[in-house]
Chains A and B, each alone.
Chain A
């Protein structure tokens, strides 16, 4: 497996609370991505980063923010969690354009 870890692996939280998910890589890859995966929707891109402090929105970015202050870490923040954000969140990394993406093990988030 590529050196990608996600933390926490599981989290249960309440509506309205802030939540931060962390993705950490040891591969020194330039690109990092956050996806969510829901039944019936497949993987959908939330945000991605193409370098330190360089980020852009994906197709389902509303309600999420990201930060990347170091090459190895990409944080996903839900400022005020809602039940619709209950999902499995995957982080992925890639070395460059058209490169394959390597996925982390996922974080299962439940918002009550």
Chain B
């Protein structure tokens, strides 16, 4: 069955540094991959979408890469700020022609001032 893996340990990072999160997937061939941010007690909020024919996508201080050979996506937050502290969810989708997303368990980021 398909499996999506994100690091279960929180990433503690100093303000101003780059945070890098990893999303690995197996038994799965997504056509695209989305990243969401979730704050405690709130619903996820969409951040970025990258398609299988794109290597990299950027939005402000965020950067996402998608390597279909490695079956991996990397999510970077550059010049991190305390306001970036949240849980980040990886969500591959579009496999088998449908638009259903499968969510990873999320990776918590804590930015230390």
Contacts and interface: CB of A to CB of B under 8 A. Distances in A.
A and B form one complex: yes
Interface of A: 31, 35, 40-45, 48, 58, 90, 92, 94, 96-106
Interface centre among A42, A44, A102 (most CB of B within 10 A): A42
Q: Which of B41, B51, B103, B104 has the most CB of A within 10 A?
A: B103
B89 A103 contact: no
B31 interface: yes
Interface residues of B, number: 23
A66 to B, nearest CB: 15
B42 A106 contact: yes
B91 to A, nearest CB: 8
Contacts of B55: none
20 contacts: A42-B103, A42-B104, A43-B44, A43-B89, A44-B103, A45-B102, A90-B43, A90-B44, A96-B99, A98-B31, A98-B49, A98-B51, A98-B93, A98-B94, A100-B34, A100-B49, A103-B45, A106-B41, A106-B42, A106-B43
Interface of B: 31-32, 34, 41-46, 49, 51, 89, 93-94, 98-106
Contacts of B101: 45, 101
Given A45-B101, A92-B43, A106-B41, 20 more contacts: A40-B105, A41-B105, A42-B89, A42-B104, A43-B89, A45-B102, A90-B44, A97-B94, A97-B98, A97-B99, A98-B49, A98-B51, A98-B93, A98-B99, A99-B99, A100-B46, A101-B44, A101-B101, A102-B46, A103-B43
